Structure formats: structure tokens, C-alpha cells
Amino acid sequence: MPKKGIEPLRRQQLIDATFQVIHEIGLADATVATIARKAGLSTGIVAHYFGDKAGLLNAAMRQILSQLKDAFAQHRGQAAADPRSQLRALVDANFDPSQTSGPAMRVWLTFWAASMHQPELARLQRINDQRLYSNLAYQFHRSLPAEPAREAARGLAALIDGLWLRGSLVGGQIDGDNARHIAYAYIDFQLQANAL
């Protein structure tokens, strides 16, 4: 009789190992053997649970994006309903310590770069981008006309991504407070400059 409930555990072990390995040595040097060894498992297990290496990377990216999505939902639920609070919550979700410390930013950028030439990853990426942009544009539009709202959303999205991007280069962690402060200021500037 096979072990019950082992599959989700194994999958998570392998995905976690993938994050660690990408963080430590990069995707280019991340072999199936490296990842499996980091997870304390054998190489064959990757095929067993993910089909092949691409399947594992795909699952890993899905999880990254899923975590971001969850962080959004959580922060927005705790915030007040007014646009400014909601926009700040969206910023907070991105610069939550759970996201900005450790491997998150490096893995995120790694998958972003990889998605430039892998349609399936690009698809996941675009879905995520679209969601962030839509949320931002919607909240800005509650206080601004349509076009300024869209431009504010584009600007804030770029600002957030740019702050993450720069965090990926330094080995350590981003200064979340500082990043948040910069983004908050941008929100207020947009809300005031183009207020209805």
C-alpha cells in the first residue's frame, strides 16, 4: 500500500529546493541533480512528480506568483477601503518582509528573465502583471480620471518592479521601509497632482 499524502510534501520539498538552488547558484547552474540533492531526494524523483525539469520550474514559478497573489489578498483585506489605503496595501504586499528577504527577489527576476523565451512562463507572468495593473488602475480611477489613472498605474507598477529589480542585484535584502516610503510618496503625488 502506497504512502498517503506524500505527494504534496515531496512536491513542496522539490520546489523549495529549487528556490534555494536558484538563489544560491542561479538557474543556469541549477541541475536536476543539484536540486534533488538539496531536497535530500534522488534525481529520478523529479520525473516522477513533475515529468521533467521544465515541469518543476513551471511549478516553482506558479508558486512564486501564487504567494504574491496571497500576499495581496491578505494585505488588502486588512486595509481600509479608501483608494489611498488600498494602494498602500498593494505596495505593502510587495514589500512585505516575507517577500523582500531571502531568495524571493532573485528567483522572481530569474523567472522574469527566463520568461522572455519560454511561452508558458511568459503566460503566467502576463497573467500576474495584468492583475497588479488592473488593481492599481482600478484604485487610482476611484480618485482620478481614466487616462491619468492608467498612467499612474503604469508608473507605480514600474516603480515597484524597479525597486524589486534593484533588490535582486544586492545579495542581501532590500530596504523594505525605504522602498515602501518611495512608493507611498508616488501614490500621494499621483492622487494629488491629478485629483478630480
Told to check if 185 binds DNA by CB under 7 A, we report no
Q: Which triple of cell numbers denotes residue 109?
A: 527576476
Q: With contacts defined by CB under 8 A, name the span among 10-18, 31-39, 90-98, 113-121 that binds a second copy.
A: 113-121
Contact yes or no for 64/39 (Cβ under 8 A): no
- What would the grid cell of residue 58 be? 513551471
Q: How far is residue 22's CA from residue 103's CA, in Å, rounded to a whole number? A: 8
Is residue 12 a contact point for DNA (CB under 7 A)?
no
Q: Taken in order 6, 29, 68, 71, is the CA torsion positive or negative?
A: positive
Q: Which residues contact 95 (CB under 8 A, 6 or more apart)?
A: 163, 174, 176, 179, 180, 183
Q: Does residue 130 touch a second copy according to CB under 8 A?
A: no
Q: Which does 115 bind (CB under 5 to 8 A by kind): DNA, a second copy, none?
A: a second copy
Q: Residue from 18, 20, 94, 125 that binds a second copy (CB under 8 A)?
A: 125
In whole angstroms, give the CA distance from residue 135 to residue 19: 28
Residue closer to a second copy (CB basis): 1 or 81: 1
* Secondary element (H or E) of residue 116: none
Decide: is 117 part of the binding site for DNA (CB under 7 A): no
Give the nearer residue to DNA in terms of CB position, either 117 or 196: 117
Site for DNA in 51-110 (CB under 7 A): 52-54
> Cell digits for 110?
530569474
115 part of the interface to a second copy, by CB under 8 A: yes
- Phi-psi bin for 125: left (phi > 0), alpha (psi -120 to 50), beta? alpha
Residue 16 or 151 with smaller CB distance to a second copy: 151
Smallest distance from DNA to CB 32, Å: 3
| Residue of 127, 142, 145, 139 lying closest to 64 (CA atoms) | 127
The footprint of DNA (CB under 7 A) covers: 1-3, 6-7, 10, 29-33, 40-49, 52-54
The footprint of a second copy (CB under 8 A) covers: 25-29, 106, 109-110, 112-117, 122, 125-126, 129, 151, 154-155, 157-163, 165-166, 168-169, 178, 181-182, 185-186, 189, 193
